[in-house]
Structure 1
Amino acid sequence: MSSPNKSNSPAAQPGATEAEQPEEKPRLTEAEKKQNHIASEQKRRQAIREGFDRLTELVPGLEGQGRSEGLVLKRTVEFMRDQLAERQALVDRIESTGAEVDEKHKKWVFRYFVKWMALSTDGELQGIATSGKWRVEESMI
């Protein structure tokens, strides 16, 4: 049978028998909370570190260097801009031969190139984006 104290507890559910009641978990002590927080923070930092390590493997010119996170991010943005510009140049080259490039590929290039260019620290659009080769249409954005 249910005791009056048990049924008044916050964990009590109306209409449930005592056997069906979820057992209250003991609350964490302040020391346990602190340890959990420290462990979570260490895990988060390790994930960030591993992400930066992966970027240094993928981005040319970063491997084997001592790295600052700012430098890794800057070089990654530069590398991605170069890759997107190269992809657009390939699309232009294919089209110059008279072949067609599927619109979904052109939209993808344009959308991401514009996003990367918007991240420019000096705010200056360079290269293909200012050369007049872009056919900007509202549906492409």
Structure 2
Amino acid sequence: MANSPELSPSSSLSPQSAANRAEAEREGKRLTEEQKKVNHLTSEKKRRDNIRSGFDGLAGIVPGMEGRARSEGVVLFGAIDYVRRLMLERRAMIETLEGNGVTVDAELKL
């Protein structure tokens, strides 16, 4: 995806959780259970936000999904239907071209 951010191991940490980790590393200590919990909650929120952003992007390019209340399942099945429709249209265009005597490269037929 062009708009999907690349994640580094530390990019999923909030400033607070990154500070917790840095402090623990400086002091040579392990993270406390509370720090682990904060880090986990922060990284889970980041993961959910990234998934939601991806589904919003997908819904933005699938006709009929824009601005609708939808679940992730609705978006996925809508995307599957849309891609199948595009594949059928492409196949029909290739057949029309070949029916009119136009040679279509084999790699374009895949």
Residue 105 of structure 1: which of 92, 103, 108 is its match?
108
Equivalent residue for 2:84? 81
Supply the RMSD in Å over aligned alpha carbons. 1.5
Equivalent residue for 2:39? 36
Residue deviations 1:2-42 (CA, integer Å, cap 9, x gap): xxxxxxxxxxxxxxxxxxxxx88321111111111111111
- Sequence identity of aligned pairs in percent? 47
Task: Give the Å deviation of 1:68.
Answer: 1.4
Distance 1:25 1:77 in 2: 50
Name the aligned partner's letter for residue 78 of structure 2: R
TM-score (norm 2): 0.71
Name the aligned partner's letter for residue 92 of structure 1: E
Partner SS for 1:28 = coil
Work out whether 1:69 is the aligned partner of 2:72. yes
Distance 1:98 1:63 in 2: 39
TM-score (norm 1): 0.56
Residue 26 of structure 1: which of 22, 29, 33 is its match?
29
Unaligned runs of 5+ in 1: 1-22, 108-141
| TM superposition outliers: structure 1 runs of 4+ over 4 Å | none
Name the aligned partner's letter for residue 85 of structure 2: D
Whose Rg is larger?
1
Unaligned runs of 5+ in 2: 1-25
Task: Give the Å deviation of 1:51.
Answer: 0.9
The count of aligned residue pairs is 85
Distance 2:109 2:27 in 1: 58
Partner SS for 2:65 = coil
Hey, which of these two has a bigger chunk of helix by percent?
2
Distance 2:61 2:78 in 1: 11
